[in-house]
Amino acid sequence: MQGLGYPARTILIFAATLALVVHWLVEPFGKEWIWLGTVGILIIAMGLVARRTRYLSRAREQSAPILKALSAATTDIPVNLRTRMPLMLVMGDALASLFDRKHDEQRLVFIGDGAIWLRVERTQDLPHVALAMRQWRDGQSPDGVALCIAPALHADADSLTQHLRVARQTLADVSRMVGARLPGYVTVYQRLTGLMPRDGNAARQWHGASASAPLTDALRFEAVVRHAESHALRHGDDPYAAAHAAALASIVGWTQRVVFGALTDPRQPAAPWTLHGACWIDCGPASDAGKPWERDVARQTCITPASVDATPAPWPLPQPLIEAMPRRVRSSPRLVAFAHAIGITALAAGAAFLGAGKHNAELLRRVRADLAHYASIAPDHDDARRDALHALVADRDELDRYARTGVPPRLSFGLYHGAALLPRLNAAIASYQPPPAVVTLDSMSLFDSGKAQLKPGSTRALVEALQMIRAHPGKLILVAGHTDNSGDAASNLKLSIARAAALRDWLIEASGIAATRFAVQGYGDTRPIADNDTPEGRAKNRRVEITLVPDMANDSR
C-alpha cells in the first residue's frame, strides 16, 4: 500500500488560510492593502498547490512502471520495514548489466542484503522517481544516489564530462524537490587488466571507501590504492595482483581528476555532489586503447593498455557502499507536517502580534497628538478649539466603544492600552468652555435720549435676546450698559447702570428666570467700540450688551 507521505498541499492551504485570517482580522499592513494582499495570497497559494499537484502527477506518471515493480518486489515487506531499509537510486551507465533479466524484461528493482536498489534508466527522470519514492516510502526520501560510470562506454573525456554535468544538475534538482540533500556515490566499472587471477572471484571484488560524512579529501582513496599494493606484495607470485594494483592506482587518480572534478567543481552553476563514497571494480564492458581511461594511461605512462573483453552480465551492485551510509533520523511525515503547522501558526501569531502592536502604537500616537493639539490652541481661537474638540470626542467615542463591546482583533493580543487615555480625553472634553454668547442692542432703539425707561414697542427688539437666554438655561446673564462720551462722565455711568437695570427687569418678567441669575453692570463711556468723534461712532457706542456666561459655582458641583 502506498504511503500518504508529507501532506504538502494541506500545509500550503493551512498556511494560506492563516495568512488570510491574520490579513483580514489584524490588518498588519493597513486597510488599504486588504484586497491587494488577499489577491496576492490566493495567487501564491493556488500557484504553489497547482505546482505541487503537477509535480506529483508527473512523478506518478513517469514512475508508474517502477512503482509497479516495487509493489511486486516488496509484497512481503511490511511498510515499516521498507521505510527503514536503505533505498538506493541507481543511474548512469550499463544499467542493463547490473539488473538481471526476468521474462525478457529488464528488472527495475533488486532487493539486496539489507537494501533496495532501484534502477533509473534515464538520468532526467531521477527527480520524479525520487519524489515518487518519497510518497511510496511514507514520506521518507531515498537514502542515496549511485552514479555508475563505465568509461569504456564513452567515446572521449568530453562526452563523459557532459554526462557527469547532467547527473550533477539532476541530483541538485532532486535535493530541491524532496527537500533534502541526498548522499552521492560513484561506482566505476572498468576492465583493469586482461590477466586472470588465481582466485576466480578476485576480479569481482570491490575496492573503495565510504563514510557517513561527505568525503572532502583524497586520503581515503589513497588508502584504497595502498591496500591493493600491499595485497600485490603479499602475492608477488601472482601477475594479476601486481597488474591490478597498478591499474587501480591509475583509475583512482583518473576518477578523482575527471569524475570527481566534474561533480564537485565549485565553478559550475549546479550544487556540487555531497560525495559520501566511491568504489571501483575490475568488471565492465569491453575496452581498447581508444577509450577515455586508456588514453589517459597512454598519455601518463606512454604505455598503451591492451584490449580486454567485456565481463559477462550481471555485474555486481556496489553493496559495500551502504555499509557506511549515514543513518538518517526517521520521522513520520504526519509528525513533520504537524511540526510545520505549529511553526506556521507561530509565524502567524508573530505577524498578528506585530500588526496589533503597530495599530496600537498608531492609536496611541493619534490620540496623544489630538490631545496635544487641543491643549496648544489659545482659548480665544474658538473655531480651532471646536474642531480639535470634535477630534477628541471622536477619539473618546472610539475608546468607549472598545470598552463596552470589546477590543477588535487588530488591537488585541494583550497589547491594547487605549483605556488609559479615556480619563485624559474626558477631562479635556469637560474643560472646554464655549465663548460667552453676546447680543448687542442699540440703546436709541430701546430708550429715549438721556432716559432709562424702555420705549413703548421696544420689546420687539428684545426678542433675539430672549431667545438666546431660553436656549442656554442655567447660564448667568450679564446685562451691561454703555454710552458715548457726550456729557458728564458720572452722569453717563449712572445712565448706563439704570438702562441695564431696566432691561434686566424686563427680561426677568418676560422669561420667568430668577433674579439671582442676572447681574447688572454699567460702564458709561469707558469701553467704546468705535470712534466718539463721529456721529456714527457715537451711535455704535450707545448700546446695551447681554452676555451669557457659565455658572462656575454650579458647574463645580
Instruction: Provide the residue-wise pLDDT of the chain in tens; the chain has 557 residues.
Output: 334 467 778 888 999 999 899 888 888 877 778 888 889 888 998 998 888 788 777 767 767 777 777 777 777 777 677 677 888 999 999 998 888 655 444 578 888 777 888 889 888 888 888 877 877 777 778 889 999 999 999 988 899 999 999 999 999 988 887 777 889 999 999 998 888 877 666 567 899 988 888 887 767 788 888 888 888 888 777 888 888 899 999 999 999 999 999 998 888 888 898 899 999 999 999 999 889 999 988 888 888 888 899 988 889 999 888 887 877 666 667 787 888 899 999 999 998 899 888 999 999 999 999 999 999 998 778 788 888 999 999 999 999 999 889 899 888 888 888 888 999 999 998 888 777 778 888 888 888 888 888 888 777 778 878 888 888 787 888 999 999 998 889 999 999 999 999 999 988 888 888 888 899 999 999 999 899 889 899 889 999 998 888 775 555 43
Do the beta carbons of residue 241 and residue 227 sit within 8 Å?
A: no
CA angle, residues 205, 211, 216, in degrees to nearest 5: 110
Number of domains in the chain: 2
Residue 511 lies in a domain: yes
Quick count: other Cβ atoms within 10 Å of Cβ 219? 9
In terms of residues, how long is the chain? 557
Are both 315 and 450 inside the same structural domain?
no
On whether residue 224 sits in a domain, the answer given is: yes
Half-sphere exposure of 193 (CA within 13 A, CB side): 18
Do 445 and 316 share a structural domain? no
CB 437 within 8 A of CB 468: yes
In a domain, residue 356? The reply is no
Residue 320 shares a structural domain with residue 446: no
d(Cα 154, Cα 170) in Å, to the nearest integer? 19
* Rg over CA atoms, the chain: 49
Domain boundary among 326, 345, 380: 326
CATH number at residue 529: 3.30.1330.60
Last residue of a domain, one of 309, 326, 343: 326
Q: Which residues pair with 87 in a beta bridge?
A: 116
Choose the final residue of a domain: 280, 309, 326.
326
Distance between first and last Cα of the chain: 85
* Cα–Cα distance, 411 to 353 (Å, whole number): 9
Cell of 287: 575496452
CA distances from 235 to 229, 244, 283, 331 (A): 10, 12, 21, 49
- Entry pTM: 0.59
Longest dimension (CA), the chain: 156
Q: Is residue 304 part of a domain?
A: yes
Q: How many CA atoms lie within 13 A of 340 on its CB side?
A: 17
Rounded to whole angstroms, the Cα distance separating 204 from 197 reads: 10
Question: Do the beta carbons of residue 228 and residue 245 sit within 8 Å?
Answer: yes
Domain that holds residue 74: 63-326
Residue 505 lies in a domain: yes
